[in-house]
Every structure is written in C-alpha cells, then in structure tokens.
Structure 1
Amino acid sequence: MTINCKGQLIDISTPKVMGILNVTPDSFYDGGQYKDEKSILNQVETILNEGAAFVDIGGYSSRPGADYVSEAEELSRVVPVVQLILKHYPETLISIDTFRSEVAKKSIEAGAAIINDISAGHLDDNMIETVGQLGVPYIMMHMKGNPETMQQQTDYDDLIKDINSYFAERIAKAHAAKINDIIIDPGFGFAKTTKQNYELLNNMELLQIVDKPILAGVSRKSMIYKTLNTTSENALNGTTALHMVALQKGAKILRVHDVKEAMECVTLFNQLKQK
C-alpha cells in the first residue's frame, strides 16, 4: 500500500504519522503559536526529528465557530510557510489542509505534496478536478454542512453505513477526475456527537469496505477532553490511548499534535503485530 508524493512512493502498509502545523490564530489547541519564521522552523524540525512522515499545514481553522478567513488571507498564511519549510528542509512532504481549490493549486505549485480537504470537494466544486490535474494524493474527510453548521447536522440513519455511502460517492467522483491516491478521513468531531465519535472509532474497521487507507484525526479533540472532564492541553494521555485503538481498527495515518508519543504508539503497535 503506497502513495506517490512528488515521485516518491511512501509505503503506508506500516502506519505513518502526520504532524500538525497550524498557522492560524484561532485553532482549538495550538492557535497563534507558530506565527514567525523561527517558531515555524523550530516546530517543523521537532516534527521531523520525532519521526513524522508528513507535515500538515492549515491556514483556516475548522473548529466550530472559527472566524471566516478570505482566500487571499489563507494563501498569504500558507504559501510562504510552504516555501520557508522547503528552503530549510527540502525533503519535507507537506500536506495542505484546505477546502479551496486555488489554495490547493498554489500550495502544490510552491512544493507541497498532498491535499487534505475537510469537505471532500463539497465546499469548492473545482477541488476534485483541480487535485486530479495536479496529480497529488487527496485526503477526503467526512463532514456534513460546514464548520459553522456541522454541529447541527448529527442525524444519521446508520452512522457507519452513511459514512461508507458518502465515501463511495466521493471516491467515484475522484476516480473520474483521475485522482490515483485517495485517503479517507472519517472526520472525528465533524457533524458527530461525542457518542457518535466513539461509535465511529469502535467500528472504524468497517470503513475498509471502500478499500482506501484511513487517516485518523483524534488528537486532543473534545471527544477526549470532554469525556475526561479536562482541557485540550491536558488531553495527551487520552489522545495516546485512542491512537492505539485507531491503529488496531485499521488507521494507516495518525494526524497528530504530538509526534513523539504517536510514534511510540506506532512502534508498540508494530511490535504487537509481529508474529
């Protein structure tokens, strides 16, 4: 099981870790921490040294109630950071967390390798066609509505069946656009209650019916810290516990704030899998 990143085949049959770099002032956990060149490069160095295969850059917070960001502002946040990272760490495989096709296009042209779209093309009709033209891997997430409305859209006939149907339709559209490498993200916390998030995690192996690698993004989310009656800052232990469950349920990529601890999960998981 491989994905092609800038001509390099990345084997994800062994799980990989994607380190998060939010260049937004209002992300739920690390908003505003990385706003100058030194802090950005220090964090990227940490992410890479701790073993992440990918760095995921986001310039538009998708947390509920996040401020609107114009396309021009998102581009001004993201593209210079891609260029900065590749100037200092040219081998870095950068994923761009965006639902806008123009941001995707300009970021890939600047040297990014992957597009990570929370809307699976629903928030920009040009996104899937653009990714197909760019010839890069595409992470498509399950969400209903948008970040402003998603928490009012948590009704499902059958949660897992509905998510699988969503991905089947989106994957067919992506294949028609000649996107070769598709990764699915179940969208923990997006249009799902806490109870539904745990139902989803507990049954995540059933998403393998669509035959695409799964990315799990649970790091420090409210499904953890609200259940533990704590805060996102104190949710690392809970995150690590659920990362191991996600790996056991078939996740091939963990998208995380804390790379070292996630890599330890992967190492222990790999040891468990040895016969």
Structure 2
Amino acid sequence: MSSNGDEAGGAEGAYDPRRQFAEECRSARELHPEAPLNQTQLAKMVRTSKSTISRVETCVGPIPPDLPARLDQVFSTDGLFKRLYEEITAQSFSKHSRRRMKLELRAIAIAEWSPTVVPGLLQTPAYAHALFREGDPRATDEELATKVRHRMARQDVLKGSSPPDFSVIICESVIRRNVGGPVVMREQLAALLTHGTRPTTVLQVLPLSAGTHGLMDGSMTLLTTADGQPVIYTEGIRSGAIIEEPSAVRNLSRSYDVLTASALSRDASARMIQQLMEAS
C-alpha cells in the first residue's frame, strides 16, 4: 500500500479509496450530529490514539484493521468504512486477484484446490509471513506486515454471519512441507483442524498415493455467486486468470469432482493432519 494519497491514487483525479476513507472520516467527525468531534474525541470513541486518526485523515501509513468497523459503529455508516477498507486492501493485489476477491465477497460457494501451499483463506499470519519473506527477501518488515494484514483481511469472508459454503482440497505435500519451521507449521496445522470443524467447511487432503488427475498443472478456485454462472480462478507463480467460458468451467468443475472422490474423507484428513502436527 502506498504511504500517501497521491501515490495510491495514480492518475490525477482517479478514484482513490484511501483518500475517500480519509475524507469520509474527516467529514463524519466534523458533521457528527450531536456536536463536531475533534481528533482526540474521536480517538477516544474508537479506542485509538489522536495520532492514528491524524494519519488516517492525511493518508499516511496503513489503516489499523480494527478501525473501520469501529468507525462504522460510532458514525452508524452501515459498513461504509469497512467497504472502503476492503477496496484499499484489494489495491495491493494484481488486477486478476482483485476480481477474484470481489467474487469471493459475493460467493455463496467456494471450492478450492491447492497443490503447493495452504490456501490464503486458511493461512495463519506466521505461515503467510514465512511465504512472503521467502518470496521477497528484500522486503522490509513493514512491507511484509502490510502484506500479511491484507491476506488476513481476506479471511473475513469466512467469518461473517452467513459465510459461503467452503470446500477445499489440499495436497498431502502441503501439510508435510515445513514452511517457517516446526512452530509455525504446528500452528498452521492446528488452524486447519479448527477450520475443518466448521459446519460450512469441508477440508480434504489428497494423498500422495493418488494417481494422475486433471488439475495437476496448478491451483484452482471455483466461485459460485447467487446472481451469476460459476467462474474459475487459476493461478501460477506470477500470473492468474479468470475462466468464464461455460464448457471450460464445466470441464474443470468435473475435474474437481473427481479430485474430491480421490481425496481422503473429512475425518481421515483430520486424522492425518493431527498425526503430522503431533509428530512435528
């Protein structure tokens, strides 16, 4: 994320959710119906510091992830600040990833196959940090922390009052690969076990003994919304694509169904994860 509004906005006059967030915060504070609020008063109401409010209103530095919801509560803005924060977060991702994230927010069902790493929606902060650190060894601690915050923010889609049905298949190699060291992996495996107990989540492991299948070339996410046809997101090391052509979606969906049949059951998957966690 850029550290100021001009950098974040790109072309002059372009819509900038970071600047919009700042302006909405300042406007809501100054036009507060009971009486105008100064930055110190607002900071007390949202349990933060005056300097944080000042930075938010001048587009300096990141927005604390818990602040948008508190602003919405104080100003009764019906999720305005939360929506703007989601847009700000999305700006740090590539164009194809931003579209995938918009679809995630509208999805009633998400089905995911991940052959190499724990899917982003299920990663712990430490696991995500280890991946980002390895992927960009020259990144500063602040840059890595920002990336981790943005990835964690994506997980809100599974935490609402009406989360989508979420089915995920991960390769056995994913839970055996020692990302970030034993402590990080134990925490990640424990998180997977917790996710697997949710009533809206089906978590399966594809054993290494499984044969050849139609999704060996990369990861895949099938997103279904209430008002549209299912679409598929595929991703490589430095690229990704949205697939909408009906016949291609149908063929890839069938490959996912076959993969589901080849994977371990929910209970057997949980036992394997538990055994690896205890052995690590």
Task: Name the TM-score, length of structure 1 as normaliser.
Answer: 0.30
Which structure has the larger Rg over C-alpha atoms?
2
TM-score normalised over the length of structure 2: 0.30
